[in-house]
């Protein structure tokens, strides 16, 4: 089969590799019909994730058709169309019983790490993929849900919802600020409305991203490069600050921005993946009664979000801005890597 293979920082190739095979009775083999690229894949290619070694097939998002099932698999069958979750869960360990699938203790790649595709085992940017723990790690796609909508449920929609909206404890009537209007930030904007946010403010440096944010549910936008950006946000909240500030970039400056615009008693929910230390000004923040949360998505909300997508309550397909075929995989990476220039949100790569 063909697959996108990592060969060290800055090096990748769309090349021939052996087909995957069933290893454990809980495995399935899925023919990947649609996949996409995540910002994490770009971090890997920069060498920021040293656990990813030469020869690893990249990708952790996908929709496909089951072609082979292990003897212990009971919930899916050959021919089923499924979403491949970015997080694998055995369903039996103590963390899985808590719904913290991100920290699954099963020994597949590494104990305590649920994100294994394109990280610790071969991933989904390939014509076929082996999926461990299939009964708990794939979701059947209902009739009427397109591949380009379904693939957004592999990662970005549950990430924005679980780590941004739920961890931030958004409630009816809240004013929410989302710092960073990339795909995950837009997922937080889209799903904040599920919990009744009264006002959703998007902050970004990119004018196109701010325009996109309104289409995803933002009521207001602020250019975070403006000298008075924080004053603009506070002016929308009677000077008090927002109830929930969601960090969706992963750099020190955006985390600090969240702490500057949240009100006393509010919450900062960090969604972005940080590669550098962030200074926490406890000498100023301790008196504000803030809660600060962070985490890796567990995808425990994927079934609920899938129901909403199937009933057209969430327009997940809106994330798909560019379309490619598998033999255009390298072109898709080029387009996604130049998102500010190409205006790409999510690139959809299909057979």
Assess contact for 271 and 160: CB atoms under 8 A.
yes
Query: What is the pLDDT at residue 319?
Result: 97
Spatial CB neighbours of 349, under 8 Å, sequence gap ≥ 6:
34, 35, 36, 37, 125, 323, 324, 325, 326, 328, 329, 332
Q: Give the mean model confidence (pLDDT) for residues 142-155.
A: 97
Q: Per-residue confidence at 270, pLDDT binned at 50, 70, 90? A: very high
CB atoms within 10 A of CB 8: 12
Query: What is the pLDDT at residue 276?
Result: 86
Query: What is the pLDDT at residue 344?
Result: 96
Query: What is the pLDDT at residue 48?
Result: 86
For the chain, give the mean pLDDT: 96
Judged against a pLDDT cut of 90, whether residue 35 lies above it is answered with yes
Q: Which pTM does this prediction carry?
A: 0.95
Residues 147 and 64: their CA atoms lie apart, in Å, by 8
CB atoms within 10 A of CB 10: 9
Q: Give the mean model confidence (pLDDT) for residues 96-114.
A: 93
What are the structural domains of the chain? Answer: 2-155+299-350 (3.90.180.10), 157-294 (3.40.50.720)
Q: Per-residue confidence at 333, pLDDT binned at 50, 70, 90? A: very high
Q: For residue 225, count CB atoms less than 10 angstroms from its CB and return exposed for 0-12, middle for 13-18, buried for 19 or more.
A: exposed
Residues 88-102: tens digit of each pLDDT: 999 999 999 999 999
Assess contact for 107 and 159: CB atoms under 8 A.
no
Q: Give the mean model confidence (pLDDT) for residues 338-344.
A: 95
Question: Any long-range contacts for 230-236 (C-beta under 8 Å, 24+ apart)?
Answer: 230/257, 230/260, 230/261, 233/177, 233/201, 233/203, 233/261, 234/261, 236/175, 236/199, 236/201
**How far does Cα 166 stand from its chain's mean position?**
14
Query: What is the pLDDT at residue 219?
Result: 98
Residues 237-259: tens digit of each pLDDT: 999 999 999 999 999 999 999 99
């Amino acid at each position: 089969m063909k697959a996108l293979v990592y060969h060290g920082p800055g090096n990748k190739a769309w090349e021939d590799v052996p087909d995957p095979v069933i290893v454990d009775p809980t495995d399935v083999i899925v023919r990947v019909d649609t996949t996409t690229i995540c910002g994490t894949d770009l971090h890997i290619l920069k060498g920021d994730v040293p656990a990813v070694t030469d020869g690893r097939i990249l990708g952790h998002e996908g929709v496909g058709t089951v072609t082979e099932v292990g003897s212990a698999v009971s919930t899916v069958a050959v021919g089923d169309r499924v979403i491949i979750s970015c997080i694998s869960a055995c369903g039996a360990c103590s963390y899985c019983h808590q719904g913290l699938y991100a920290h699954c203790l099963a020994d597949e790649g590494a104990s305590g790490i649920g994100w294994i595709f394109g990280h610790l085992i071969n991933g989904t940017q390939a014509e076929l993929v082996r999926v461990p723990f299939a009964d708990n790690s794939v979701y059947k796609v209902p009739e009427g849900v397109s591949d380009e909508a379904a693939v957004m449920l592999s990662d970005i929609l549950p990430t924005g919802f679980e780590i941004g909206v739920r961890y931030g404890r958004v409630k009816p009537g809240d004013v929410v600020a989302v710092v960073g209007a990339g795909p995950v930030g837009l997922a937080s904007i889209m799903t904040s409305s599920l919990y009744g946010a009264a006002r959703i403010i998007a902050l970004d440096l990119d004018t196109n991203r701010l325009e996109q944010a309104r289409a995803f549910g933002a009521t207001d936008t602020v250019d975070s490069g403006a000298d008075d950006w924080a004053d603009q946000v506070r002016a929308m909240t009677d000077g008090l600050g927002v109830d929930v500030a969601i960090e969706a970039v992963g750099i020190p400056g955006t985390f600090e921005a969240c702490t500057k615009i949240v009100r006393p008693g509010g919450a900062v929910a960090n969604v972005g993946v940080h590669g550098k230390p962030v200074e926490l000004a406890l000498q100023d923040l301790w008196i504000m009664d803030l809660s600060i949360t962070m985490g890796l998505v567990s995808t425990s909300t994927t079934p609920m979000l899938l129901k909403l997508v199937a009933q057209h309550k969430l327009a997940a397909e809106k994330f798909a801005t560019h379309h490619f075929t598998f033999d255009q995989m390298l072109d898709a990476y080029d387009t996604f890597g130049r998102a500010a220039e190409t205006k790409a949100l999510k690139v959809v790569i299909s057979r």
